Amino acid sequence: MADADPPPGDGASADGPVDSAETSGPSAEASDADATSGPTTSGPTTSGPTTSGPTATAGAIIVPVEPTSTLRSTIAHVAEAAANDGAPALHLVEIASWRDGDPESDERAAAAERVLERVAAWATADLDDSEAPAAADVEVVTAVIGADDYLFGADDYVRVLAEYAEENAADRVVLDPEYTPVGNTTLLQPLEFALSNTSLSVETAPVDRPTRRERFRTEATTGRFVALFGLSLAFYLLLGDPTYWFDAVTGVATAAVVSITLSRVSLDSTPAIPRTPMRIARGLVYVPVLLYEILKANLVVARVILDPRLPIEPTLNRMRVIVGSGLPLMTLANSITLTPGTLTVRARDSDLYVHSLVPWAREGLFDGSLERWTRFVYYGRRSARLPTPRERDDVAILQGDDATEELPIAAADGGAVGAGDESDGGDETDAAESIDDEVTDR
């Protein structure tokens, strides 16, 4: 492997490309000279067994890595192909679905390095076992790429891959058939489509995929059962009288039924100590803060409504947040909606599209108070000190005279971003006005 273990979250994406550039320098000129003809040449197919032809034309191979059930088979296939085709290097890369400095980025970077280390060991062993003469000349390189930027879709992943390929004289990308770099969302097909617009040759590894059905239920664990039982019992007693024996008995019975039937579908991960109790404690601190924000926003909106001299400027805004995905993102989106004057219209990747009724609500949204409190609840005080959306320049106004970006149609119907030409202007205005009317009615 060309990489040494870097400090978590610091330079993890830079070491791989630098090492590969140094170690594969002698073959860089030959690879660059054939870059334009690499994807269309049939050399590897017709002259693969020979040692001189493929070595002169073949470029390095890139394999995006993520733990899957077919990863081992994919590595075996790619290692044999690299040996037969005379590829100078095999680059095993993990495209970061996090950004350095984000909550839990150090842990995720360390986990990625462990995966790459294991995969590199597989590739090295497969090359050692290969009977192809050029197998000994194939260098195995690992790298984490894209950790210095936010990646939100196929185009971003392709851009990072294309830049890495250009830096390392690679002309071929082989994809694991179950490659899912963004968690539970399968990105393989749009990733293949986006890669087809580059000069890279793209293929999916022809490996057997296990036949299985996705289960709605997760595995039953004691931790999940106990956690759901405690939450159910606490909620039941909060609504009743915890000092009355009948409520206590029925509460235990109800919590037991809920835990038995729902513990395998209600929690997507097993509660851990001390993480889960700390999150609950910080959540209790957050509740009065959220109630205060709701009260303050109620007073401001009521004053604006009662005083005709004060401005009402409904706009749609975009805010890119750093809270992670899943429950933290849902918490922030719902907190914004609960605060009068703002309504979360859509959460797309890490972008929140929020409708604001008055300028005060929009400015408070950009100041990121709720975002910081959400990070505090789930990740602690250290994460709460991260820059606000305004300080990161991760905000945009999509409507009105102060608009900084055009209103994307994707915010309303999931389509492509509006091109911004004159012919689309009427549609965008109509969409914006319909959102304004809906929110004003509410």
Indicate whether 356 and 396 sit together in one domain.
Answer: yes
Domain boundary at 157, 174, 204, which?
A: 204
Indicate whether 133 and 230 sit together in one domain.
Answer: no
Q: Give, in order, the Cα–Cα distances in Å from 406 to each of 345, 412, 434.
A: 16, 13, 16
Q: What is the pLDDT of residue 228?
A: 87
Indicate whether 176 and 228 sit together in one domain.
Answer: no
Which structural domain, as residue segments, surrounds residue 247? 222-262
Indicate whether 332 and 249 sit together in one domain.
Answer: no
Residues of the chain with pLDDT under 70: 1-57, 150, 152-153, 181-190, 209-220, 268-269, 349, 408-442
Report whether 271 contacts 227 (CB < 8 A).
yes
Indicate whether 428 and 306 sit together in one domain.
Answer: yes
**Nearest CA-CA partner of 64 in 127, 119, 124:** 119
315-320 vs 342-348, strand pairing mode? unpaired
Domain-embedded: residue 415: yes
Q: What is the pLDDT of residue 222?
A: 81
Q: What is the pLDDT of residue 26?
A: 40
pTM: 0.50
Distance CA 407, CA 61 (A): 39
Domain-embedded: residue 325: yes
Q: What is the pLDDT of residue 236?
A: 92
Indicate whether 321 and 354 sit together in one domain.
Answer: yes
Distance CA 50, CA 328 (A): 55
Domain-embedded: residue 216: no
Indicate whether 297 and 253 sit together in one domain.
Answer: no
Indicate whether 45 and 101 sit together in one domain.
Answer: yes
